[in-house]
Chain A
Amino acid sequence: MLRRTVLVALRALRQLRHDHRFLALSLVAPVLVIYLLKLFFDSVENPVFKPQQFVVPVGAFIVHFLTYVLCMIVLVRERTAQTLARMFVNGFRRSEIIGGYLLAYSTLATAQSLLVLVELNWLFDLAFDTSRFVSMYLVMWLLATISMALGIFVSNFALNEGQIFPFIPLVTLPSIFLSGVVVSVEKLPEWAQLLGRLTPLFYANRMVQALLAGGGLSDDWGSLAALPVYGGVVLLLATLTLREVD
């Protein structure tokens, strides 16, 4: 099983290496968006407003959005090109395909999260010490990995590239509005709070806020544990819903 998982991962990485445009977009796009964010926050003239409270969660959202969408596109592309069916016919199992993709794209997510955090730290003078930087990075990396799993799961319901588009706002809009990044979750109606808890950004944002307030990862074990549990559940759902037979 592990051999074929590694085979899928190596093949996906080789494809990434050849697809310069995709690679560049995945790494340059978040950097560019965060720079635009800097220009936006610089123009807000409000002495009470502290952009630091917002920029890290928004940076996390950008990573979440990009990894989710890119993973979804890649998997749907496999389906429409019929290479997914060909993989099954050649003996690959669902868990091996998903595991391989996760392994390959987590390298991209690792680089993406690091770039975003370094840029945020530099542009907004966040002055994180090493321990806080590593904790922030862990949260962002976990979120990116979960977003990939979410992308793989949702891609199982899109039969072609065109069907991807309705799924983008369906996941990302509740993420940004109901997770506590823009408004406090407590101010939302109860049903919206419940919906917010279904987004991975909710748990990541709680961790980020705790770290920004000077706390450590151990201050909110619940949210820290929720991220890998969330990822595991989504991966299980992705494996169960990946259709092998028509």
Chain B
Amino acid sequence: MTQSEQGEAAISCTGVVKRYGAVEALKGVDLSVRPGEIFGLIGANGAGKSTLIKLLVGTARATAGSVRVLGMDPLRQAGQVRSQAGYMPQAPALYEDLSPRDNVRFFGGAHGVPDLTQRTEEVINFVNLRGRADDAVFGFSGGMKQRVSLACALVHRPQVLLLDEPTAGVDPKLREAFWQHFRDLATAGTTLLVSTHLMDEALFCDRVAVMRDGAVLVSDSPKALLRRGRTRVSVWCGDERQSETLADYPSELPGLLRRRGLEDSVTRIELDEDTLETVVLELINEREAVHA
């Protein structure tokens, strides 16, 4: 990554290594997130996503490499970075004997939010907890705690949002609402770095980095990643099926149909595209075959 690219990026990591004793949690991570972008960190548990986010919020120190948030060092310029960054950790990290309203007001108060009462109600409404705003968090389900945690991360209107598995345990309807809100925030200029282990959530992101064993396997837009996949075309002539695999079906399908002449006997054409998960699995297999 060039210096100018690093300067323009809302978030940048260059050659980031993090070791915990003998364990290398991050093995030279490079990535750059543009302002106003939703960037997904995709990977299984233990891939290094949470460690990377901890470095970005300044609760962990990189063993080697450089980390920048809005062009600033999260450790040396902790005060400035933290006032402009919102962080939602993987664990709810809430005061469970207090209510969602108390939790949001506490973290919002730390940032000196000027219209704290109004803003607290806004974020409580957004996470759909108005009816439970004064109940102790203790009795809440995992998904409800996630919603309170997200409200705490949003309360001070941060410029950069670092969300570690924000939709874990959240029902599909609310998950859709979360992503819609993330999109609205990005449109308004907020930069979002969202980690998830759910491949289908990558499709909500502008770009993603697929992480495995502390390294970035690939970083691209979800569409570009999907283009790496293949499509199996099955042409049915009555009960007889003929299948062919195409690398780029939008450009190759017309040729296939021309070759077949699209006879009257063709009764059905099925397209079976690789999912993002299959594409990523292929990438992992390719990488492991190279290293084997």
Contacts and interface: CB of A to CB of B under 8 A. Distances in A.
Interface of A: 3-4, 7, 11, 14-15, 18-19, 81-83, 85-92, 244-246
B95 A15 contact: yes
Contacts of A19: 97
B91 interface: yes
18 contacts: A3-B112, A4-B109, A4-B110, A7-B106, A11-B98, A15-B97, A18-B136, A82-B91, A85-B93, A88-B59, A89-B57, A89-B59, A89-B85, A90-B111, A91-B111, A245-B59, A246-B20, A246-B61
A85 B57 CA distance: 10
Contacts of B107: 86, 90
A91 B87 CA distance: 11
Given A3-B109, A4-B110, 6 more contacts: A11-B106, A14-B102, A15-B95, A83-B94, A89-B85, A246-B54
Contacts of B34: none
Contacts of A92: 110
A246 B59 contact: yes
B136 A89 contact: no
When A and B form their complex, which 6 residue pairs have the shortest distance between CB atoms, in order from nearest?
A82-B93, A246-B60, A90-B110, A86-B93, A18-B97, A89-B87
Contacts of A88: 58-59, 82
Q: Is the interface of A mostly helix, strand, loop or mixed?
A: helix
Interface string B78-100: 01001101010101011111100
A244 B112 CA distance: 21
B161 interface: no
A229 B93 CA distance: 35
Nearest to A16: B97
B75 interface: yes
Contacts of A85: 59, 89, 93
Contact of B82 (A4, A11, A18, A91): A91
B60 A7 contact: no
B92 to A, nearest CB: 8
Contacts of B102: 11, 14
A46 B34 CA distance: 82
A81 B93 contact: yes
Contact of A89 (B20, B58, B106): B58
A11 B102 CA distance: 8
Nearest to A17: B97
A16 to B, nearest CB: 9
A82 B54 CA distance: 12
Contacts of B112: 3
Nearest to A245: B61
A13 to B, nearest CB: 11
Contacts of A7: 106, 109-110
B27 to A, nearest CB: 17
B95 A91 contact: no
A92 B87 CA distance: 14
A19 B75 CA distance: 35
B117 to A, nearest CB: 15
B87 A86 contact: yes
Nearest to B156: A90
